Amino acid sequence: MKRFQGILYAMLSSATFGMIPLFAVPVLRSGMNTASVLFYRMLFSALLMGLLLLIRRSSIKVTIKQFFTILGLSLFYTASSLFLLESYLYIPSGIATTIHFLYPVFVTMLMVGFFKEHLSRIMTIAVMMAVGGVWLLSMGGGGGSISLPGVGMVLITVVAYGSYIVGVNRSCANKVDGLVMTFYVLAFTAVFCGMNVFWGTDGLERIPNMSVAINLVLLGLIPTLVSNLFLILAIHRVGSTITAVLGCMEPLTAVGIGILFLGEHIGTIQYIGILIILLAVALVILGKKK
C-alpha cells in the first residue's frame, strides 16, 4: 500500500508540475518578466501553504539542524527553477527539457554510488526508457542555436534538482512533516527569488489585471504547492530513484496542455516518445526490487 501511494504521489507531482504552461504562458504573454513571475509563483504558494497550516493549527517547529538543511535544499530548488528559465534565452526549449530530464540519471548515480542502493534490471531499463522518451517528445521543441552557457545552465539544473530530490530523502529533513517541509521550501524559495528580482533585475513588476492575478495564484497552487507536496510525500514512501523516474509525467502533461489549450501540434516522433514514457511508467508500477 505504501509503495502504491508513493507511485501515485510521484505521478501526481510530475503531472501537476507539467501544468505550468497552462497558467504561466498567459502571464508571460501579458508582458511580465520571468523573474517577477517566478517570485509571485513562489510567494503565493508559500502564503497558501501557510494559510493551510494555520487552519489546521499545525506546528511548524523544526530543529536547528533541520532548519538549515531545508534552507540548503531550498537553494538547490531555487537554482533549478532560475537556471532552467534562464537557459531558454540561450538554447531551444526542447533541448533544454531533454537535458534537464537527465536528473533521474543523476539521482540514480547518487543513490547507487553514495548510498549503495540496489538498482534492479527493471528500474535500469525504466530510467533509460524515460530519458529516451522525453528526448523524442522534445524533438522539434523550438528553433535556435545552441550555446555553451545555455547547456551549462541546464546541466546546473540537473545537478541542483537531483540533489534536492536525494537531499529530501537522505537528510534529516526526511523526518519533517510533509506539509511543514513544503511550507519551508516554498517560503525560502520565495525569499531567494525575491532577492533575484531586486538585485538581478530592474525590480518587481506590478500585476497588471485580475486575469493575470488569477493565473499567478493558480500557478502558485497547482504546479507549485500541490506538486511539491506530492513530491515530498512520494520521496518519503518510495525513495528518490522511483520518484525521479516518474517525473517523466511532467513533459507528457506539458505536451498535453499545449495540444488541448495552447493550439500546439506534435508529430509521429513525439507520439512514439509518449508511448515509450507510458511504458517506462508501467515498468515502474509493475516492477519490484529483488
Q: For 6-42, how does the pLDDT look when each residue is reduced to its tens digit (9 = 90+)?
A: 999 999 999 998 888 788 888 988 988 888 999 999 9
Range of the domain at 60: 1-289
Angle at 46 between CA 253 and CA 63, to 5 degrees: 115
Would you state the cell numbers that stand for residue 198, as one nine-digit string? 531586486
40-88 residue pLDDT tens: 999 999 999 999 999 999 999 999 999 999 999 999 999 998 888 888 7
Residue 146 is predicted with a pLDDT of 62
Q: How many domains does the chain contain in total?
A: 1
Residue 151 is predicted with a pLDDT of 86
Output 209 or 1, whichever has higher pLDDT.
209
Output 284 or 156, whichever has higher pLDDT.
156
Q: What is the longest distance spanned by two Cα atoms in the chain?
A: 56
Residue 230 is predicted with a pLDDT of 96
- Asked if 251 contacts 17 with a C-beta cutoff of 8 angstroms, the reply is no
